[in-house]
Amino acid sequence: MKFSFILAAVFLLVSCVSIPEVPKDASVMEIVQKGQEATDRDRHNLAIHYYNLILERFPEDAASICMAEYEIALIHYKQNKLNTAKSEFENLLKRYEQIDSELLPQEYKILSGIVLKKINGKI
């Protein structure tokens, strides 16, 4: 009985942990830094939250969009959510088939292709 109560209390505390607020004027690089720090601490959901902030706050910055989408897909890959990651990498690679794709950072195209091959070998 005591164990169940303690377990419930711990669960309640963990579930109430809030996501740190990011100032509205934070730059892309400041948010990326927070995402990388969260990833380094294995706080993947928090990292994804930060990368989604980039998608929301900087929708016209194509390079940042590619980077954020790549990082989210990579986290899902590392979490072994292969179908989700595969879909995300494929969607990212579709960006490189559009007009003006030569203006996009090519590293995310290359890296996405590499990880996608690994995923296809596993599923």
- Answer yes or no: is 18 within a domain: no
Quick one: what percent of the chain has pLDDT higher than 70?
85
Rounded Cα distance between 84 and 119, Å, is 10
Rounded Cα distance between 115 and 119, Å, is 6
Give me the helices (H) in the chain, please: 2-15, 28-40, 44-57, 62-78, 82-95, 106-122
Rounded Cα distance between 57 and 69, Å, is 14
- Answer yes or no: is 32 within a domain: yes
- Answer yes or no: is 6 within a domain: no
How many domains does one find in the chain? Answer: 1
The answer to whether 68 and 28 are in contact (CB under 8 A) is no
What CATH number does residue 39 fall under? 1.25.40.10
Range of the domain at 54: 26-122
| pLDDT reading at 14 higher than 70 | no
- For 102-122, how does the pLDDT look when each residue is reduced to its tens digit (9 = 90+)? 999 999 999 999 999 999 999
- Answer yes or no: is 13 within a domain: no
- For 44-54, how does the pLDDT look when each residue is reduced to its tens digit (9 = 90+)? 999 999 999 99
- Answer yes or no: is 91 within a domain: yes
